[in-house]
Amino acid sequence: MKPTDFAKYLSDFLTKYLVHERGASRNTVCAYRDTFVLFIGYMATQAIAVNKLTLETISQNVVIGFLDWLQTERKNCNSTRNARLAAIHAFFSYVQYQHPDNLHEYQKILSIPMKRKAVIPMNYLTIEGIKVLLSQPDTHTARGRRDLALLSLMYDTGARVQEVIDLTPCSLRLDVLNTISITGKGNKTRIVPMLDEQVKLLKPYIVEHRLDQECNNKHPLFFNSRGDKLSRAGLNHILIKYADMARRTSGVYLPEKISCHVLRHSKAMHLLQAGVNLVYIRDILGHTSVQTTEVYARADSKAKRMAIEKAYTSVAPEKEPVWLSNDNLMDWLKHF
């Protein structure tokens, strides 16, 4: 079977261009790959098998049909649809220089706009909510001790899900400094300080699983029963399990929908409410720009209320209006 031009350029895009020229992370490559797995599956539903799929068969209308299919059949939100479109845009930005024969159609694909995302209120836990959540793991069991160390580390560092999954023992520096090295988006590494309370949970966990031995330096810091690194689904399952337990055993409010990213939001909000400068919060979270971090300032209704109250000047008249002091409005009107 003769390979198609689509197969050739997609393979080069994923294995050569993204990795060697763009320096994209493995997570980015996997996300782009998943987009094209879905796209190939969609084209199969349109009676175009993968061995018949060429660049010439992919038009602006085809891509729009794929995006609509994602939202109608797979129930994807605008954010997911935009992420898939970003991968397609990146591919055709690459192809237009490598295979410009159909340049006009490529540019039409590149002109497909992103959809405006719905503004969803930010979910985060209160300090009391975090305390209740972290009190749920049973520390009499090895799994409970792992889960407590895991959840507390996620909150304490404000790390993303994938960043926690990729941690190894050599990411930690448990001495006078007590810091953790976290590699995030774009393979950017940041150093985040850890509190003594967090270290007190981590050290026994590391010793218990012999992660302090040199031979285990590259072993996943948090792993499942098979010794493999935890998956995103596994991490979310752990959090949701304890969140459900917390709702049943306490009167503290926890959002109905909760995910690992909620712990990251919670840490950022608590730092902001404690008066920590946005620049430091940006560095802890690994944001490229402080403008990204400003979303927490916009979401903090308590801080807004305090700022308004601090700047408030009464403009109301000191004397009570006559229509409030007169019980008989009609009488007042007659004698006005």
Active site residue 287: yes
C-beta of residue 182 within 8 angstroms of C-beta of residue 171: yes
Co-location of 157 and 300 in the same domain? yes
Residue 321 lies in a domain: no
- Kindly report, residue by residue over 272-295, the tens digit of the pLDDT: 888 888 888 888 888 887 777 777
Residue 332 lies in a domain: no
Last residue of a domain, one of 57, 83, 110: 110
What pLDDT does 154 receive?
A: 95
Co-location of 150 and 257 in the same domain? yes
Active site residue 264: yes
Is residue 319 scored above 70 in pLDDT? no
Active site residue 261: yes
What percent of the chain is modeled with pLDDT above 90? 63
Co-location of 161 and 282 in the same domain? yes
Higher-confidence residue of 177 and 312: namely 177
- Give residue for tokens 């490559």: 29
Global model pTM greater than 0.75: no
Q: Which of 84, 145, 160, 265 is catalytic?
A: 160
What pLDDT does 6 receive?
A: 95
Over residues 197-221, the mean pLDDT reads: 93
Q: Which of 145, 264, 267, 282 is catalytic?
A: 264
Active site residue 185: yes
Residue 331 lies in a domain: no
For residue 68, give the amino acid letter. Answer: D
Report the number of distinct structural domains present in the chain.
Answer: 2
- Owning domain of residue 103: 5-110
Over residues 134-163, the mean pLDDT reads: 94
Co-location of 97 and 145 in the same domain? no
What pLDDT does 320 receive?
A: 57
Q: Which of 89, 108, 173, 185 is catalytic?
A: 185
Last residue of a domain, one of 110, 139, 173: 110
* Token code pair at residue 99: 């295979």
Residue 71 lies in a domain: yes
C-alpha distance from residue 93 to each of 9, 96, 106 (Å): 12, 6, 8
Co-location of 159 and 89 in the same domain? no
Co-location of 77 and 200 in the same domain? no
Co-location of 106 and 131 in the same domain? no
Mean residue pLDDT across the chain: 87
Burial class for 6, CB neighbours closer than 10 Å (0-12, 13-18, 19+): buried
Q: Which CATH number covers residue 231?
A: 1.10.443.10
Co-location of 282 and 238 in the same domain? yes
Residue 334 lies in a domain: no
User: Can you spell out the DSSP letters for 151-205?
Assistant: HHHHHHHT--HHHHHT--GGGEE-SSS-EEEEE-GGG-EEEEE--HHHHHHHHHH
Residue 122 lies in a domain: no
- Kindly report, residue by residue over 158-168, the tens digit of the pLDDT: 999 999 999 99
Co-location of 132 and 99 in the same domain? no
Over residues 154-182, the mean pLDDT reads: 92
Question: pLDDT band for position 27 (50/70/90)?
Answer: confident
Residue 298 lies in a domain: yes
* Token code pair at residue 333: 């009107």
Residue 151 lies in a domain: yes
Co-location of 87 and 140 in the same domain? no
